[in-house]
Protein backbone atom coordinates (compact mmCIF):
# COMPACT_ATOMS: atom_id res chain seq x y z
CA UNK A 1 0.00 0.00 0.00
CA UNK A 2 0.90 3.62 -0.10
CA UNK A 3 -2.03 5.46 1.37
CA UNK A 4 -1.11 8.52 3.29
CA UNK A 5 -3.83 11.05 3.84
CA UNK A 6 -7.00 9.34 2.83
CA UNK A 7 -9.44 8.63 5.61
CA UNK A 8 -12.16 6.02 5.69
CA UNK A 9 -14.00 8.00 8.28
CA UNK A 10 -13.24 11.37 9.90
CA UNK A 11 -9.83 11.06 11.50
CA UNK A 12 -9.35 7.44 10.50
CA UNK A 13 -6.33 6.68 8.42
CA UNK A 14 -6.38 3.01 7.37
CA UNK A 15 -4.26 0.83 9.60
CA UNK A 16 -3.06 -1.20 6.60
CA UNK A 17 -1.35 1.78 5.09
CA UNK A 18 0.12 2.83 8.41
CA UNK A 19 1.51 -0.62 9.08
CA UNK A 20 3.13 -0.81 5.69
CA UNK A 21 4.54 2.67 5.77
CA UNK A 22 5.93 2.42 9.25
CA UNK A 23 7.44 -0.94 8.43
CA UNK A 24 9.09 0.60 5.41
CA UNK A 25 10.36 3.54 7.43
CA UNK A 26 11.84 1.23 10.04
CA UNK A 27 13.46 -0.82 7.31
CA UNK A 28 15.03 2.30 5.89
CA UNK A 29 16.22 3.31 9.30
CA UNK A 30 17.69 -0.12 9.90
CA UNK A 31 19.61 -0.30 6.65
CA UNK A 32 20.64 3.30 6.82
CA UNK A 33 22.18 2.68 10.23
CA UNK A 34 23.66 -0.54 8.95
CA UNK A 35 25.35 1.36 6.13
CA UNK A 36 26.68 3.83 8.63
CA UNK A 37 27.96 0.97 10.77
CA UNK A 38 30.13 -0.29 7.94
CA UNK A 39 27.87 -2.68 6.04
CA UNK A 40 26.98 -0.67 2.95
CA UNK A 41 26.33 -3.66 0.68
CA UNK A 42 23.40 -4.94 2.73
CA UNK A 43 19.94 -4.41 1.35
CA UNK A 44 16.46 -5.21 2.72
CA UNK A 45 16.34 -8.19 0.38
CA UNK A 46 19.10 -9.82 2.38
CA UNK A 47 17.03 -9.81 5.54
CA UNK A 48 15.24 -13.02 4.65
CA UNK A 49 18.53 -14.82 5.26
CA UNK A 50 19.85 -12.84 8.22
CA UNK A 51 16.50 -13.06 9.92
CA UNK A 52 15.93 -16.76 9.46
CA UNK A 53 19.29 -18.45 9.65
CA UNK A 54 20.20 -20.43 12.71
CA UNK A 55 23.32 -19.99 14.85
CA UNK A 56 25.20 -22.91 13.38
CA UNK A 57 23.76 -22.45 9.92
CA UNK A 58 20.60 -23.66 8.26
CA UNK A 59 19.53 -25.38 5.12
CA UNK A 60 18.30 -23.26 2.31
CA UNK A 61 14.97 -25.04 2.38
CA UNK A 62 14.44 -24.31 6.05
CA UNK A 63 15.28 -20.66 5.62
CA UNK A 64 12.87 -20.45 2.72
CA UNK A 65 10.10 -22.00 4.72
CA UNK A 66 10.64 -19.73 7.70
CA UNK A 67 10.85 -16.67 5.51
CA UNK A 68 7.81 -17.85 3.60
CA UNK A 69 9.38 -17.35 0.21
CA UNK A 70 10.60 -19.79 -2.42
CA UNK A 71 13.89 -21.66 -2.26
CA UNK A 72 14.96 -19.95 -5.48
CA UNK A 73 14.52 -16.52 -3.96
CA UNK A 74 16.60 -17.51 -0.95
CA UNK A 75 19.16 -19.13 -3.21
CA UNK A 76 19.69 -15.93 -5.10
CA UNK A 77 20.16 -13.91 -1.93
CA UNK A 78 22.48 -16.56 -0.57
CA UNK A 79 24.62 -16.48 -3.70
CA UNK A 80 25.03 -12.77 -3.42
CA UNK A 81 25.81 -12.88 0.29
CA UNK A 82 28.34 -15.59 -0.48
CA UNK A 83 29.88 -13.51 -3.24
CA UNK A 84 30.37 -10.52 -0.95
CA UNK A 85 31.72 -12.60 1.88
CA UNK A 86 28.88 -12.73 4.38
CA UNK A 87 27.89 -16.34 3.91
CA UNK A 88 29.32 -19.71 3.03
CA UNK A 89 27.77 -22.85 1.64
CA UNK A 90 29.13 -25.95 3.28
CA UNK A 91 28.06 -29.46 2.32
CA UNK A 92 25.72 -31.13 4.74
CA UNK A 93 27.49 -34.27 5.97
CA UNK A 94 24.18 -36.01 6.58
CA UNK A 95 22.73 -35.38 3.15
CA UNK A 96 24.78 -35.03 0.00
CA UNK A 97 22.08 -33.05 -1.78
CA UNK A 98 21.90 -30.38 0.84
CA UNK A 99 24.23 -27.53 1.68
CA UNK A 100 24.26 -25.71 4.94
CA UNK A 101 24.20 -21.95 4.73
CA UNK A 102 26.27 -20.43 7.47
CA UNK A 103 27.21 -16.83 8.17
CA UNK A 104 30.89 -16.06 7.98
CA UNK A 105 32.49 -14.07 10.75
CA UNK A 106 31.70 -10.89 8.86
CA UNK A 107 28.16 -12.11 8.33
CA UNK A 108 27.71 -12.71 12.04
CA UNK A 109 29.07 -9.29 12.82
CA UNK A 110 26.59 -7.78 10.43
CA UNK A 111 23.77 -9.75 11.98
CA UNK A 112 24.80 -8.63 15.44
CA UNK A 113 25.00 -5.05 14.27
CA UNK A 114 21.53 -5.39 12.81
CA UNK A 115 20.06 -6.70 16.02
CA UNK A 116 21.78 -3.97 17.98
CA UNK A 117 20.16 -1.38 15.74
CA UNK A 118 16.80 -3.06 16.09
CA UNK A 119 17.11 -2.98 19.84
CA UNK A 120 18.08 0.67 19.77
CA UNK A 121 15.08 1.47 17.58
CA UNK A 122 12.77 -0.44 19.86
CA UNK A 123 14.14 1.37 22.88
CA UNK A 124 13.36 4.62 21.11
CA UNK A 125 9.86 3.40 20.41
CA UNK A 126 9.44 2.48 24.06
CA UNK A 127 10.59 5.95 25.09
CA UNK A 128 8.23 7.61 22.66
CA UNK A 129 5.12 5.50 23.15
CA UNK A 130 5.69 3.63 26.38
CA UNK A 131 7.11 0.22 27.12
CA UNK A 132 3.70 -1.24 27.79
CA UNK A 133 2.37 -0.09 24.49
CA UNK A 134 5.30 -1.47 22.56
CA UNK A 135 4.93 -4.80 24.31
CA UNK A 136 1.21 -4.83 23.60
CA UNK A 137 1.98 -3.97 20.00
CA UNK A 138 4.45 -6.78 19.68
CA UNK A 139 2.04 -9.23 21.25
CA UNK A 140 -0.84 -8.18 19.03
CA UNK A 141 1.20 -8.31 15.86
CA UNK A 142 2.71 -11.65 16.80
CA UNK A 143 -0.77 -12.96 17.32
CA UNK A 144 -2.05 -11.48 14.11
CA UNK A 145 0.78 -12.77 11.97
CA UNK A 146 0.60 -16.19 13.60
CA UNK A 147 -3.09 -16.36 12.86
CA UNK A 148 -2.47 -15.21 9.34
CA UNK A 149 0.03 -17.91 8.68
CA UNK A 150 -1.85 -20.69 10.34
CA UNK A 151 -5.60 -20.90 10.39
CA UNK A 152 -6.27 -17.74 8.47
CA UNK A 153 -7.65 -14.39 9.50
CA UNK A 154 -9.29 -13.93 6.20
CA UNK A 155 -6.88 -14.65 3.45
CA UNK A 156 -6.48 -18.02 1.74
CA UNK A 157 -9.52 -17.11 -0.29
CA UNK A 158 -7.58 -17.38 -3.53
Partner DNA sequence: GAAGCCTTGTAAGGCTGCCTGACGAACTGG
Partner DNA sequence: CCAGTTCGTCAGGCAGCCTTACAAGGCTTC
For the chain, the residue count is: 158
Question: What residues contact residue 103 under an 8 Å CB cut-off, 6+ apart?
Answer: 50, 53, 57, 86, 87, 110, 111
CB 56 within 8 A of CB 93: no
d(CA 15, CA 17): 5
Q: Are 87 and 101 in contact (CB under 8 A)?
A: yes
98 interacts with DNA by CB under 7 A: yes
Residue pair 45/30 in contact by the 8 Å Cβ criterion: no
Binding characters for its own copies, 83-122, by CB under 8 A (x = yes): --------------------------------x--xx-xx
Report, in Å, the least distance between residue 96 CB and its own copies.
27
Q: Which one of 43-51, 80-88, 95-103 is the stretch in contact with its own copies (CB under 8 A)?
A: 43-51
CB of 33 to its own copies, least distance (A): 7
Compute the Cα dihedral for 47, 52, 57, 62 and give only its sign.
Answer: negative
Tell me the closest approach of the beta carbon of residue 147 to DNA, in angstroms: 19
Site residues (vs its own copies, CB under 8 A):
1-6, 8-9, 12-30, 32-33, 35-36, 44, 47-48, 51-52, 66-69, 115, 118-119, 121-122, 124-125, 128-129, 133-134, 136-138, 140-145, 148, 153-158
Site residues (vs DNA, CB under 7 A):
2, 43-46, 48, 59-62, 68-73, 75-79, 89, 92, 95-100
Amino acid sequence: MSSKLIETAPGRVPVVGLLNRSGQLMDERLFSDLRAAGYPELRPGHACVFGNIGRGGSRLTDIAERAQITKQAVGEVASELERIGYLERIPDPTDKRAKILRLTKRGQEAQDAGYAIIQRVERELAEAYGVDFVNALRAALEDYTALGVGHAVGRHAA
